[in-house]
A = this chain, B = another copy of it.
Amino acid sequence: MIGIFDSGVGGMTVARTIEQVCPQYPLLYFGDVAHTPYGSKSSETITGYSRRNTEFLLNQGAKVIVVACNSAAATSVDTLRAEYAVPIIDVITATTRKAAEGTVNRRIGIIGTRATVQSGIYEKQIKQLRPACQIYGQACPLLVPLIEEGWLNQRETKMILRRYLTPLRQHQIDTLILGCTHYPLLTHLIQKRIGKRVHIIDSSIETARHLKSFLDNSPEITSTIRKKMQDCPPHHLEKNRFFVSDSTPPLQKLANGIFGRKINLITTHA
């Protein structure tokens, strides 16, 4: 099984894309809603939560782990790789490659939580691939609460977005990374405010493609997954399971909205 974890339900945008790109594999999702949000906490605390989430998914039978939370990927993925003997795919690696390859004027913007932006990981990875790039980070800590409230089209959301995006506009970026799994829900507003010529990179799409190419080249892992799912019909969405460490009606609604179908959230502790 493909194990995916996130600080809450935002990572379901990644799970949904993986479901579309790799429909033949069952998914196991864990959303750490009891500790959400990660993005404004310290990296030590985030790493502790990431460790527990990984162990939960491994105990449930995951053969590969996708760290769908940018804040967790930015602060904890090196620790997880050092401690667990399982392939770990994160939402940052494929995204930075796409950005570094795609930019023409070599000016790239990245928006995310405070933890993600302050980690400097996007800048570091992009500069390793293409040292001449200029990276401009902007922490947008209010976007996750606005999205979780369902304020996807409110005037206040638009104003706050403009405030966050204006500095990036002034830097004349040609590429913008959505460095938080919630943000694809605001792509329509972001594109309008950053300018239509800026190429927006959605990390969920890049990560799903990266995972697919990894699985296509890892027969030993896919054969183990296949053995486990012999009784399970392919393309059957019911095979995917969604665990959360806490659940409330607004989050259930958001989960249904992301997938466009009723999601059965199973409450458990990591």
Contact = CB atoms under 8 A, between A and B. Distances in A.
Interface residues of A, number: 26
Looking at chain A's contact residues, the main secondary structure is helix
A221 B45 CA distance: 36
18 contacts: A33-B41, A34-B45, A40-B148, A40-B250, A41-B248, A42-B247, A42-B248, A45-B246, A114-B248, A141-B145, A142-B145, A142-B151, A145-B145, A155-B159, A156-B156, A156-B159, A156-B163, A159-B159
A31 to B, nearest CB: 13
A160 interface: yes
B41 A34 contact: yes
Contacts of A94: none
A187 B43 CA distance: 33
A238 interface: no
B160 A41 contact: no
A35 interface: yes
Nearest to A155: B159
A245 B48 CA distance: 12
Contacts of A160: 156
Interface string A33-54: 1110000111011000000000
Interface in A192-228: none
A114 B248 CA distance: 10
Nearest to A43: B248
Given A35-B34, A250-B40, A149 B142 contact: yes
A160 B145 CA distance: 13
A246 B145 contact: no
Interface string A146-189: 10110100011001100100000000000000000000000000
Contacts of A246: 41-42, 44-45
